[in-house]
Each structure stands twice: as C-alpha cells, then as structure tokens.
Structure 1
Amino acid sequence: MRIVSICPSNTEIVAYLEQEEMLVGVDNYSDFPEQVMQLPRLGPDLSIDIDAVAQLKPDLVLSSLSVPGMEKNIEGLREHNIPQLILNPGSLQEIAADIEEVGKAIGLPEHGEKKAKEFLQEIETYRAKSNAKEKKPSLYWEWWPKPIFTPGQGNWLTEISELAGGVNLFGEEKEASVKTDWEDVRERNPDHICMVWVGVKEEKMNPDLLRKRPGWLEMKAIKEDKIHVLEESLYCRPSPRLLEGLRKIHSILQP
C-alpha cells in the first residue's frame, strides 16, 4: 500500500507496526523513525498541501484530529475524494485501539492486534509497579510557559504520571489542557517539574527561566533541583512512543 501520514503521531503508529516502507509522504513535523526524513514533506500538520498529497496517489491517508485546526485537512481530503482514516486518540487505551485499527486498514489485522496487545501489556506491567507504591510524588508538566498550559484529567500524561509511580499535579482538572498561571503552580508546590514545551527542542528549553519566576525558588522541586528537561516528542504526541517516555520518567522517579 501507499500510505501518507499527515501527523507525527500517525507516522509513529505506522513505525510501531514496522511498516515504514509503506509511507510515501509525511507532514513537515514527522521526524521518527529517521528514514521518514527522506520522504516528500507535505506541509505543517495544520495546513497540509492537499494537491501534493493527491499527486502521491495514496491508497490511504492517515489524518488526525489530535490538534485543533486539523479539520481543514480532513475536509480538503474529502473534497479530493482521497481515502483517509481519521485518528483522534486521547488516552493510552485509544492509542492501542488506533494501532489495531491502522493494522486492519493497511491489510495486517492480526499484526495490528498483536502490536496493540504488546502496547497494553507494557502499560499493565508499569501499572502493577505503580500500584505497589505507597508514596507518589507530584509532577508538574509544563506544556507552554506563557501563558502556562499543563495537561489535565483527560490527557495521556495524567496516565503516564500514574504509571510511572507519580501523580499529575493538575490531574483532577477536567480539561485535557489546563490554562493556569505561575502563582497557581507555586502554591501547588510540585515535587518534580517536567519541561516539555510543545514544538520546542529540549536544547532550547532553559530551566533557569523557571527559577526567575516570582516565588519559584521556594518551590520544593526547584530547591531539590528536580527540574527535568524532556523530549516533547516522547510526551506531547499521542503515539506508541509514549512508552519510551514512560520508561524515562519512571527511571527518574524510581532510580
């Protein structure tokens, strides 16, 4: 099959299914696995060049609603009568379901089911470890610095926090993405701060900026030097690579 992926998380699902050779084009932000960097780039995920997609003559486009604004791509593909599978996972369970669904769509239903089970089995392994812990440190995930956005109850990072043996500081807020402010975070006083600014490489994130915020030097995480600059690609995309992120944050919390 000839597959086009117009979202990094979808590209990573194809990679998890070990079918990268089916990909004939990707969005500008898809950067994993390394070989997709050689494929035709079809524009940023919010404004895909639909004409360029059509020229690739795909059998299937993996489109997405994981970021607000992607609806325009979906409508464009419909207008061009290009076959598409629309993914919109918000939880680890839904990511597993998408692995299975993509497997079926590309003609490998048994393989898709097998890989989805592997994904869920690893999650359950970490869940058992987490359930055995009595004391769970609080994690503040910073998605964006100003204004501050952080994941809430309906977000996979709340699950990742729990599976790693911690608890998301904003995990009881109903929104999937919570807009808050520096003072609110200071008052909640997290045990750990995880910097994962969306779309920003880790080498461009400076922990010293956090130390300069009013009152933040008194926060426990900063006093104990528990600011973690993490790869946003392992935490901000609803893809199977969240497992890699889980392994990493678990090793930080449980050294």
Structure 2
Amino acid sequence: MTLRVFSHTCSNTEIVCALGCAETLVGVDADSDFPPEVVARLPRAGRDLDLDIEAVLRLAPDLVLSSLTVPGHERVVEALEQAGLRVLVCDPVTLQDIYQDIRRIAAALDVAARGDALVAQMDAAMPSVPVMGERPAVMVEWWPKPVIAAARHSWVNDLIRRAGGRNPWDVLDARSVPQESVDAAAMRPDVVVMSWCGVKEENYRADVVRQRPGWAGVPAVVQDRIHAVSEAFLGRPGPRLVEGYRRLRAAIAAAS
C-alpha cells in the first residue's frame, strides 16, 4: 500500500518529488508551486500559517511533512500533532542539516538509497570554489524595507562560502536580521542578492536598493552588482538550492 503524504511546506513538497515519490502526495499547502505538473492536481489545505487542520484530516495522510523555518509554524505543528497526525518536522540551519532532512524524509518514504543519491547529487553540483584573493562581501536580503539580511544561522552562509564569497552578517548570532538602511550600508557589501520572500522574481527592483538612504557609496551600488535570485532558489531548504548556488556563483565570479 502506498504511503499517503501531506506536505505542509514548499521545500518538503519539492524534496518528495525529487526523491521520485510524487505519487505519495495526497495534498499540499497553498504555497507549494513546484513541480507545477504535480501540485496542480493536488488538494490544498491553506497557507503555511493558516493551515486548515480539518482539511488535512479529511485527506487521511499517514504522514505530514512540516517545518519550523517560518516563525509561527510551531503552533501549526502542535495542532497537527494534537489532531493525532504523524508529523515529521524539519528545522534546518546549515546545508548539512538540509542533507540530513532529505535523508530523514527518504527513510520515512522507504527510499533511503534515493535520499543518499539526491544528497550526493546536490553536493557535487555545489562545489567549494578555490579563492585566491579576498572574498567579495555578499548580502542576501529576504526583504527590502526594513532590510532583512541572512545572518549566521542560515544555509545561505554555506552557499555563499562555497560559491566563493563571504557573508558580512555572519557575525550576527541569528538566522536573519532586520536593519536600518544606514546600518546595512555600513557592512559595505560588494554584491547584493535580492531574494525577497513572497515576491515574484520579476517584481524585484534594483532601484529599491540603489535609492536607499546612505547607499550611494556602497560597492554593490557603485559597481551595479545588484542581482535578483528567486526566494524559491535560496529560501527553500531543498533540491533547488542548487540553482541558487549557481546564480550566487555567477554573481560572485563577476565581482571577483
């Protein structure tokens, strides 16, 4: 009998499909949008923080894949567990954490070998590039106003370093940090990567970065190194981080 799986987050939906287990999915959250040919046919039970627990129960899943990567998910996970559902919760910080979550999900789906293979494939596609000189300072921002930058406890740190850069916000003991525009400018990033959560990539605007108070002399603005990389490729802890790495690498290489 095929396991019935409900996915509460985009990243978990993408992991299940990358493992070749799309047929196990009986429903997803409203934000899961990839792969489109899979999610288009599936029932949706609400957005991440407004999940309809009763709708999930009606789908009779054997397993719910959830996450703590969004503030407030704790109460949703608690509600799922109180409803008697079996829940596998991911809360990755580093790239290695993501690899471990992929292996955990693969084991739960009884395809452990596929999990190992997917991790190996991702790791090989995101090599640590050799750096001869100084690493460019790279800012990945999750939101433009206030400026919210990826800080130390983020897999983005691993991706930036592998791609040949450094994250100036790595000194801050947080997953991300909101800052005043002038404080963010003081970090003097050489590269700015817009990866605004919940906004389509085609709607990212570099002028929003250029026109910030105190940013006229920031190297990324002076050298016009402001790039758009969909949050789907950097903010989701799953297989499509490979595409995020590739785009980071291209942006960093151009600044090196």
TM more than 0.5: yes
Q: Which residue is 2:20 aligned to?
A: 18
2:68 corresponds to 1:65: yes
Aligned counterparts, 1:28-47, within 5 A? 28-35=30-37, 36-47=39-50
Provide the C-alpha distance between the structure 1 equivalents of 2:251 and 2:178, rounded to a whole number of angstroms: 26
Aligned counterparts, 1:71-220, within 5 A? 71-123=74-126, 126-127=127-128, 129=129, 131-220=130-219
8 Å contact 1:93–1:120 — kept in the other structure?
Answer: no
Shift in Å, 1:132: 4.0
Q: Deviations over 1:69-120 (max 9, x none)?
A: 1122212222221122111111110111111111110111222222223333
8 Å contact 1:90–1:238 — kept in the other structure?
Answer: no
- Consecutive unaligned residues of structure 1, counting only runs of 5 or more, are none
Q: Deviations over 1:16-53 (max 9, x none)?
A: 21211211110011111112133111101112111111
Provide the C-alpha distance between the structure 2 equivalents of 1:110 and 1:227, rounded to a whole number of angstroms: 40
8 Å contact 2:106–2:114 — kept in the other structure?
Answer: yes
One-letter amino acid of the counterpart of residue 11, structure 2: S
Aligned Cα RMSD in Å? 1.5
8 Å contact 1:234–1:241 — kept in the other structure?
Answer: yes
8 Å contact 2:195–2:234 — kept in the other structure?
Answer: yes
Aligned length, in residue pairs: 251
One-letter amino acid of the counterpart of residue 117, structure 1: A
Q: Deviations over 1:149-186 (max 9, x none)?
A: 11111111111111111111212211111122111122
Aligned counterparts, 1:223-238, within 5 A? 223-238=222-237
Q: Secondary structure at the match of 1:140?
A: strand
Q: Secondary structure at the match of 1:210?
A: helix
Provide the C-alpha distance between the structure 2 equivalents of 1:196 and 1:14, rounded to a whole number of angstroms: 24
One-letter amino acid of the counterpart of residue 152, structure 1: A
Query: Which is further off, 114-123 or 146-155?
Result: 114-123
Shift in Å, 1:243: 1.4
8 Å contact 1:165–1:253 — kept in the other structure?
Answer: yes
One-letter amino acid of the counterpart of residue 240, structure 1: P
8 Å contact 1:234–1:244 — kept in the other structure?
Answer: yes
Query: Which is further off, 3-12 or 168-177?
Result: 168-177
> What is the identity percentage for the equivalent residue pairs of Structure 1 and Structure 2?
39
Provide the C-alpha distance between the structure 1 equivalents of 2:222 and 2:215, rounded to a whole number of angstroms: 9
One-letter amino acid of the counterpart of residue 172, structure 1: V
One-letter amino acid of the counterpart of residue 179, structure 1: P
